[in-house]
Amino acid sequence: MATVSFDKEFIIKDKEYINKFSKIILEENKTKKIDIEKVSETNMERGRILLKQYLSR
């Protein structure tokens, strides 16, 4: 089910919440390191096989 909540306007009046919202918006996204072990070709193939088995039930 789709949501339209992101299209609605909202008003923040409380100064504390304005500061929190500004901090979230202005804060740079921290990158997450990818665990190479989890994305190895062996593990990717294993995942494909498991997915195929799961979907064939």
What is residue 10's DSSP assignment?
A: -
Cα 31–chain centre separation: 12
pTM of the entire predicted model: 0.38
Q: Which of 21, 3, 2, 26 is nearest to 11 (CA)?
A: 21
Tens place of pLDDT per residue across the chain (57 aa): 556 566 678 888 999 999 998 888 888 777 778 887 778 888 889 999 999 999 998
Q: Is the dihedral of CA 34, 39, 43, 49 positive or negative?
A: positive
